[in-house]
C-alpha cells in the first residue's frame, strides 16, 4: 500500500529526516513512535507532499514522489495533521464538506451521515464554527474530515495530543473499528503504549532516523527501546 524509501527532509541547513524507509501493507496499522524532534511529523508531511523531500514514496505501486500534495490526496491518502489544522471560521459541516469537495452530492450526504454516526458529538455541533469546538471535538472533526473522501491510507499525526484519557480511548476505539474495516493506518504517536498495543508493526524514530522496527508487540516489550526512546 505505502512504500517509503530513503526519504530525507531538510529545512535550510537542518536535516529533520535523514533517509527513512518504511512499508505499510494493505489493512495494516503502522505505529511511528519516538521522542519530540525525532522527525516524525516531518516524515508525515513529506508523505503527504506538504514539504519538499528526497527519496521515493509510492502508494499502491505508483511513485508519487513528484506529485503535489493535492494530487497525493487524490491517490487515497487521508491526513489528520498534528494541531488539527481545521478551517476555524467554517462550521463543522462545512469542514466536512471541504473534505469531500470532489465527491458528488449523494456521496457527500452519505459521508456526513457516517461521520455523524461515528462522532455523534459533531452532529450536535454541526453548525458551530470549528474554532469554537473543544480540543477533543476538534480532533474528532479533523479525523472525520480526513475520512470524508474515503481514503485508502489514513495518516494520523499525534491525535491523542492534549486529549483526556477517556477521549484518547474513544479515538483509539474509532481507529480500531476503521482498521477492522480494512483501512490502512499509519499513526504517529507520542502516547506510545496505547498505539503499540494496537498496531501491527512499529517504527521507532530518533534524531531523524529509524533506529528500530519490528512487530509492535515486540517493540512494546523491548526494554532497550522503551527505555531509550519511549520512556
Partner 1 sequence: MRFAAITVAAAALAAVMPFAGVSVYAGTLVYYAAYYLVLGQAWNMMSGLTGYVSFTHGALAGIGAYTAVLAINGGWPITLALVAAVAVTAFASLVIGVTSLRLRGTAFTFATLFFQELLLLGVRKLPAAGGAAGTTLQEILPTSLPHVLMVLTAAGATIAFALLRRSRTGVRLLAIKGDEDAAAAVGIDATRLKIGVFCASAALCGLAGGIHALFIASLHPESVFSVDTSIVALAVPLIGGVETALGPVAGAILYVGLREILQIVAPSLHLVIVGLLILLVTLFLRDGIIGAARRLLQRRRTYRAALETAR
Cβ 95 vs Cβ 130: under 8 Å? yes
Task: Compute CA distances 33 → 161, 230, 231, whole Å.
Answer: 13, 7, 11
The residue (of 7 and 220) whose beta carbon lies closer to partner 1 is 7
**Nearest distance, CB of residue 131 and partner 1, angstroms:** 10
Q: Which residue's CB is nearer to partner 1, number 37 or number 68?
A: 68
**Could you give the CA distance from residue 80 to residue 86 in angstroms, rounded to a whole number?**
10
CA 192 to chain CA mean position, Å: 14
Q: Dihedral sign for Cα 178, 36, 136, 104, please.
A: negative
Grid coordinates representing 176? 480500531
Nearest-approach distance from CB 83 to partner 1, in angstroms: 10
For partner 1, give the closer residue by CB, 148 or 196.
148
Least distance to partner 1, CB of residue 126, Å: 15
Q: Compute the least distance from the CB of residue 68 to partner 1, in Å.
A: 7
What element of type H or E holds 21?
strand 14-24
Distance of closest approach, residue 69 Cβ to partner 1, in angstroms? 4
Q: Contact residues for partner 1 (CB under 8 A)?
A: 48-50, 68-71, 73-74, 79, 81, 85-90, 94, 97-99, 101-102, 145-146, 148-149
Burial degree of 106 (CB within 10 A; 0-12, 13-18, 19+): exposed
R_g (Cα) of the chain, nearest Å: 17
Nearer to partner 1, 57 or 202 (CB): 57
Q: Please give the full DSSP string across 206-224, using - where no structure is assigned.
A: ETTEEEEEEEHHHHHH-HH
Residue 58 or residue 67: which is nearer to partner 1 going by CB? 67
For partner 1, give the closer residue by CB, 69 or 209: 69
In the bound complex, what is the minimum distance in angstroms from residue 101's beta carbon to partner 1? 5
Amino acid at each position: 500500500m505505502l512504500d517509503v524509501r530513503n526519504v530525507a527532509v531538510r529545512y535550510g541547513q537542518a536535516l529533520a529526516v535523514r533517509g527513512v524507509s518504511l512499508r505499510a501493507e494493505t489493512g495494516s496499522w503502522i505505529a511511528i513512535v519516538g521522542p519530540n524532534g525525532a522527525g516524525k511529523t516531518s516524515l508525515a508531511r513529506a508523505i503527504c507532499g506538504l514539504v519538499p523531500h528526497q527519496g521515493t514514496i509510492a502508494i499502491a505501486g505508483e511513485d508519487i514522489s513528484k506529485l503535489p500534495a493535492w494530487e497525493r490526496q487524490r491517490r487515497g491518502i487521508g491526513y489528520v495533521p498534528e494541531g488539527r489544522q481545521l478551517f476555524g471560521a467554517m462550521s463543522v459541516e462545512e469542514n466536512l464538506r471541504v473534505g469531500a469537495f470532489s465527491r458528488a452530492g449523494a456521496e457527500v450526504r452519505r459521508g456526513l451521515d457516517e461521520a455523524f454516526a461515528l462522532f455523534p458529538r459533531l452532529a450536535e455541533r454541526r453548525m458551530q464554527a470549528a474554532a469554537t469546538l473543544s480540543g477533543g471535538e476538534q480532533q474528532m472533526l479533523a479525523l472525520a474530515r480526513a475520512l470524508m473522501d474515503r481514503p485508502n491510507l489514513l495518516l494520523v499525526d499525534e491525535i491523542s495530543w492534549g486529549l483526556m484519557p477517556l477521549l484518547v480511548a474513544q479515538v483509539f476505539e474509532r481507529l480500531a473499528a476503521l482498521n477492522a474495516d480494512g483501512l490502512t493506518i499509519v499513526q504517529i504517536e507520542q502516547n506510545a503504549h496505547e498505539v503499540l498495543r494496537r498496531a501491527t508493526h512499529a517504527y521507532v524514530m530518533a534524531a531523524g532516523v529509524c533506529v528500530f522496527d519490528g512487530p509492535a508487540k515486540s517493540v512494546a516489550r523491548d526494554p532497550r527501546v522503551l527505555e531509550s526512546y519511549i520512556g
